[in-house]
Each structure stands twice: as C-alpha cells, then as structure tokens.
Chain A
Amino acid sequence: MTELLVGTKKGLFVLRGEPGEAFDIVHRSFPGDVVEYACRDPRSGRCFASVTSGFYGPRLFFTDDPAGEWRQATGPAFPEDVDGAAVKRIWVVEPAEEPGVLYAGTDPAALWRSEDDGETWELNRSLWNAPTRPEWRPGAGGLMLHTVCPWPGEPDRLAVGISAAGVWLTDDRGKTWRTGYAGLVPLYIPEEAREGTHALCIHKMERAPLRPERLFMQFHGSVYKSDDAGETWADVAAGLPAGFGFPVVVDPADPEGAYVIPLTADVDRTPPEGRVRVFETRDGGATWAGRGEGLPQDEAYLTILRQAFDDDGGSPLGLYFGATSGDVFGSADGGATWFTAATRLAPVTSVRVSG
C-alpha cells in the first residue's frame, strides 16, 4: 500500500492504493483552498500542509493523522521588526538532519527553521539580510524560496533554491551564505546583461543522498548538475526534447540517475508534441531516455509543477507526479511503465509519497 499527499488548487487529497492500480481518495482536507505543498516527516510521522486561502492568506497546518484534525502552526510569519514583509505563500517544508528540526521556504524568499517538529518557526535573518536582496526579482510564480536540500549527516550544510535569485549555500547552519551561481546561463536575459546577474530562475533541485556533492537542477530553460555541492553547475540538457520544465527527481540509490519532465518552453508550458514523457538518465545526464508507456501520448497539454513529482525511495523505484489537468500518474518500476493513480482532481500543485 502506498499513500500520497496531493496538494491541489482545491484542497488536499490523501490517496492510497497498490502501485499499478488506481488509488482511492481516502480523504480531502481544506476544500476550496489552495494546498501549495503537503508532506509527511518520515521521522515523526507528522504531516504538514501549506494552505493559501484566497481570502485569509497563507498558513501552515500539521497533524499526525491526515484524515483527522489539523492544527495551525505559529508561523512562518515575519517578526514585527522586519519592515513591511508578509508571507504570501509557503512553498516547501523540508525535514532537516537534526531531530525535530525542519526548514520551510516562502514567498517572499525566506528560509525558516523550526526546532519543535514544525509547531513554531523562526526566520533565518542572515539570508533575509543578504546584501544583494534589493536586486532580486520575482519569476512568474513570485520571489520565493522553494527548495531546501539538506546534506545527509551534516546539519551545518544546506543548499537552497530561490526563484529567481539562484542557489545559496551555507556550511554553518545558515549563519553565513554564499551563492552557487557559476555555470548557470540565464538565456532569458540579454547576453550582455548576464554577467553578475542574480536573475537565476531555479525551478527545482535535488541532492543525491549517496553522493551529497552531486545535485541535479531543473532550471528555467535547461537542466544542470553539480559535482561540488552546488558551487558550480554543468549543463546536461543535451538529448532532452526541451530544456524547460519544473520538477526533478534524483534516484536515491543511484547518484547517476535522475528524472525530469520536459515542457516545450516558457511560452508553452506543455509537453513537447502533446506527449507526456518522463526522461531518465543513468549516466549523470550524459544521455537521456524518454519513458512514456502508460502516459498520455496524444494531445496532452498539461503542466507538471515544481513540487508535483516525487519518489518512494524503494527498489525498484516508485515515481509519482501530478498535473494541472488533475491527473496523478505513477510508476512502480522506475519509470519503465506508468499507470493512472487518480483523475479529475483539481489542478495539482504538489505530490509527495507519505507512506
């Protein structure tokens, strides 16, 4: 039995089922509100849901039973001495390497830390006060910190991704930060404006747990990998039908293995040729192979958003992604074949395997 937490534009859906067959909707929470992101902390079993009401703003909820009562966290919310800033959306919640510690990322782009299993949150002021922040500009989805990559076994080391202000790295648990910009090429701005720009639109990145210095990144217009913990990046998009896309998944058992879901371009965020295909590499991005068996292969014009693709950590690897069409697809064999786990949900914002 596999459990998925599926965030949508109209609530959180808890799906359960056997891989290979349609999943059951076992619960729906927060009807009518956008659930930006939902996950389960595997250490504690606690579930988190980032909920944005069109009326009453964003907030984070948590529960030990996603079909039960949810409690509202205290924060993330900016302290009164931070002039004017107010949280618009909570994009991600990420378990850290220390017991009871989690990180969250928000719009406006800020990192938050909780030391009590997500009940209260504190702003990382060092990153918030980055001297270049006045030069940061939002992407289409806002100016947000959407990705947090802990380093297995080393709680001092983090990489975070900001759209559109690049990769930021710390080796001292967030006391100081430096950029990881080298090698990233923002093709969406004039060549003469690229030198020294902060306008680096990270869509998603993920660290290989068995080789933590290896990360893969889906960028705004290309796919990159890093072999030095995010300090420098190399373009590995050759062989993909398009460089654009949002999510990326790294095989937790194989640092050379990763998956992306290409979309035609930033001006047409649908699968190339109307064919939904997941592309897999087994050689660190040197070559890519399309995996579409079981996925819509004709006239499919859906979008897969940055938080809507996840793996189950198993062997063979289970993969799940949701689309703006309201469909959720899964694979029980590392992407070789796919099945439809759910249809006709609201547009999917996030998918996380939770059990």
Chain B
Amino acid sequence: MVVVTLRSPLRDLAEGSRQVDVEGATVGEALRALERRHPPIVGWILDEHGRVREHVNVFLGGARVAEDARVAAGDVLHVLPSISGGSR
C-alpha cells in the first residue's frame, strides 16, 4: 500500500482523512485510486487526462514527482499546493 497525505481543502474532500492508503505502481495510479475511494477529489489533484495539476506539488521522499513516477509499498506521497498558485 502507498500512503497519500492530504491537507485542507483536499482533506475535507476525503471525509476528513489526513492519510489514505491506496494501491498503485505509479503516482498517477495511486492518485486515481484515491479518487475512486473519495470521488469528490476527482479533478482537484489530477486533470482530466491524469496529469498532476500545474500548481499542485506531489512529493515522494523529499522530491517533487510527476504522475509517471514509480511508487512502492510503504511509500508516502505528500500532496500540497504549490507556492506558485493562487496569485490571482
């Protein structure tokens, strides 16, 4: 299992869960599994083509990763807003 950690407002969309355990071999698969578990989160982290949104950061082991990065059991994915978003 991969652990996805969430902050507000994403946490609110996941029934208040700070961490969600999901299956997946890549970041994209893990986040799609998160969407299946918590459908209100669809479209918030990944766009309709499965790409991590421009102003969302997904960190794995201290590095920012894209949707095609490999993950393994026990990995922790941190999903955070980028400092580049929200400028308008």
| Chain A residues positioned under 8 Å from B10 (CB to CB) | 56
Rounded to whole angstroms, the CA-CA distance of A245 and B25 in the bound complex is 52
| Chain A residues positioned under 8 Å from B47 (CB to CB) | 57, 86
Name the one of B48, B49, B51, B82 contacting A55, with C-beta atoms under 8 angstroms: B82
| Chain B residues positioned under 8 Å from A86 (CB to CB) | 47-49, 51
Q: Is the CB of A57 within 8 A of B43?
A: yes
Q: Is the CB of B43 within 8 A of A59?
A: yes
Q: Is the CB of A55 within 8 A of B43?
A: no
A47 contacts partner chain B, Cβ-Cβ < 8 Å = no
Rounded to whole angstroms, the CA-CA distance of A32 and B10 in the bound complex is 15
Rounded to whole angstroms, the CA-CA distance of A72 and B53 in the bound complex is 18
How many B residues touch A, CB cutoff 8 Å? 19
A342 contacts partner chain B, Cβ-Cβ < 8 Å = no
Complex interface bits, A58-91 against B, C-beta within 8 A gives 1, otherwise 0: 0100000000000010000111100011110000
Rounded to whole Å, the gap between the CB of B4 and the closest CB of chain A is 15
How many A residues touch B, CB cutoff 8 Å? 19
| Chain B residues positioned under 8 Å from A57 (CB to CB) | 43-44, 47, 53
Rounded to whole angstroms, the CA-CA distance of A78 and B86 in the bound complex is 23
Rounded to whole angstroms, the CA-CA distance of A34 and B85 in the bound complex is 12
Complex interface bits, B46-57 against A, C-beta within 8 A gives 1, otherwise 0: 011101010110
| Chain A residues positioned under 8 Å from B51 (CB to CB) | 86
A77 in contact with B43 given A55-B56, A84-B49, A86-B49 (CB within 8 Å): yes
Which residues of chain A from 1 to 28 have a CB within 8 Å of any chain B CB? 9
Q: Is the CB of A9 within 8 A of B49?
A: no
Rounded to whole angstroms, the CA-CA distance of A53 and B81 in the bound complex is 10
| Chain A residues positioned under 8 Å from B86 (CB to CB) | 32, 53-55
Rounded to whole Å, the gap between the CB of A290 and the closest CB of chain B is 32
Rounded to whole angstroms, the CA-CA distance of A86 and B81 in the bound complex is 19
Residue ID in chain B nearest A10 by CB atoms = B88
Rounded to whole angstroms, the CA-CA distance of A34 and B88 in the bound complex is 8
A54 in contact with B55 given A32-B86, A59-B43, A72-B40 (CB within 8 Å): yes
Which residues of chain B from 48 to 88 have a CB within 8 Å of any chain A CB? 48-49, 51, 53, 55-56, 81-82, 85-88
Q: Is the CB of B44 within 8 A of A56?
A: yes
| Chain A residues positioned under 8 Å from B14 (CB to CB) | none
Complex interface bits, B1-23 against A, C-beta within 8 A gives 1, otherwise 0: 00000000110000000000000
Please give the residue numbers on chain A whose beta carbons come within 8 Å of chain B beta carbons, in ascending order: 9, 32, 34, 52-57, 59, 72, 77-80, 84-87
The 10 nearest A-B residue pairs measured at CB: A54-B86, A55-B85, A55-B81, A54-B85, A77-B48, A86-B47, A56-B44, A55-B55, A78-B48, A57-B53
26 A-B interface contacts by CB (under 8 A)? A34-B88, A52-B88, A53-B44, A53-B86, A54-B55, A54-B88, A55-B53, A55-B56, A55-B85, A55-B86, A56-B9, A56-B10, A56-B43, A56-B53, A56-B55, A56-B81, A57-B44, A57-B47, A77-B48, A78-B48, A78-B49, A79-B48, A80-B48, A80-B49, A86-B47, A86-B51
